[in-house]
Structure 1
Amino acid sequence: MEPLDEATIRASFVNCSKGEARRLSLPGRLADVDWADLDFLGWRDPKAPANAYLVLPRDGKYVGLAMRAAAPHSSQLKSSLCALCQTAHAAADVSLFAARRVGNAGKLGNTVGTYICADLACSLYLRGKRKPSTPNARLTSTVDEDVARTMASLNKFVDEVLTDNA
């Protein structure tokens, strides 16, 4: 992923107001982000951990989503699978994230949800830069194939958010 600046990130959000985008917390120091290992930028607000954000390249521009995370699952015995990167984690390390739809549907409170790595670090799990909380059997696919599958799943989620079905 190409390095992004604050203005690009804030301008990318499609499912919140410009004021909300202006007020949201950005991920630490952008200069410290290892952009080469990322397929999308994902972070949670350290002051309000239920608030989460994704920014991804899409059709030559960037699309940002503001999301809300459900309360974490308390079990460390059960495992869950990230719908994007297919990484298995302890159930507490996968969260249901809901994003408000755009347009009138979003104004009416319609949301779309999916299960994603709670730390939004799918790119790092795919590349072996971060280890999941449970042993993860590696399939015979390559990192490039895993990235393509993850981005296809993420783009499908974005398609749903961009659908104003009111």
Structure 2
Amino acid sequence: MKAVTEQDIRTSFINCSKGEAKRLPLPRDLDELPWDDLDFLGWRDLSAPGRSYIVTERAGELIGVTLRFPSQQRGFLHRSMCSLCLTTHPGNGVSLMTARKTGTAGREGNSVGLYICTDLACSLYVRGKKVPASGGRFKESLTLEEQVERTRTNLDAFLGKLYG
């Protein structure tokens, strides 16, 4: 992913109002992020537990999405797999994140959900730059490039479901 500015991020959101996008907190370390290793920019809202954001490029356009997830705690023995990067995590390492749909469907309260790494570090897990609490990922026969492409494809499919 190419580096983006605060203004780029704020104008990219498709499932919230311009006012909401203007007020949402952004990552403080935008200049220090490993942009070459990111398929999307994802962060949690530390001031609003249960709220996260994803910004990515889709069809040549920057797309931002607000997400909500439950704050309930699961036992450490419970394991789940992320639907984007296929990394497994114990406990609360994976959360069902829901995004309000765009347009009329979104105004009527319709949303789409997906199980995603709670810390939104999928890109780093796939590339081995970050290790999940479970100690590692499953060994795969796919190349790194194929795993990255699969993660991007999975995210693109999720974003495609958000449109009306």
- 1:1-166 mapped onto 2 (5 Å cutoff): 1-135=1-135, 136-162=137-163, 164=164
AA of the residue aligned to 1:31: D
Structure 1 residue matching 2:50: 3-state secondary structure: strand
The answer as to whether partners of 2:85 and 2:122 remain within 8 angstroms in 1 is yes
Structure 1 segments unaligned to the other structure (5+ residues): none
| CA contact 1:72–1:95 (8 Å) conserved in 2 | no
Question: Aligned to 1:65, what secondary structure does the other structure show?
Answer: strand
Task: Kindly state the Cα deviation for residue 48 of structure 1 after the two structures are TM-superposed.
Answer: 1.2
8 Å Cα contact 1:84/1:153 also seen in 2: yes
3-state SS of paired residue (1:161): coil
- In structure 2, runs of 5+ residues without a counterpart are none
Task: Give the Å deviation of 1:67.
Answer: 0.8
The residue matched to 2:95 in structure 1 has which SS? Answer: strand
* Distance in structure 2 (CA, Å) of the matches to 1:38 and 1:115: 19
Give the SS at the match of 1:124.
helix
Identity %: 47
CA distance in 1, matches of 2:43, 2:69: 11
Q: Could you state the TM-score of these two structures normalised by the residue count of structure 2?
A: 0.96
Q: How many residues align?
A: 163
**Counterpart code for 2:69:** A
Worse-matched range after superposition: 101-110 or 25-34: 25-34
Q: Distance in 1 between matches of 2:133 and 2:148?
A: 20
Counterpart CA distance in 1 for 2:48 and 2:12 is 21
- State the secondary structure of the residue aligned to 1:158: helix
- Matching residue's letter, 1:147: V
Q: Supply the distance in 2 between the matched residues of 1:144 and 1:49 (Cα, whole angstroms).
A: 34
Q: State the superposition RMSD in angstroms.
A: 1.0
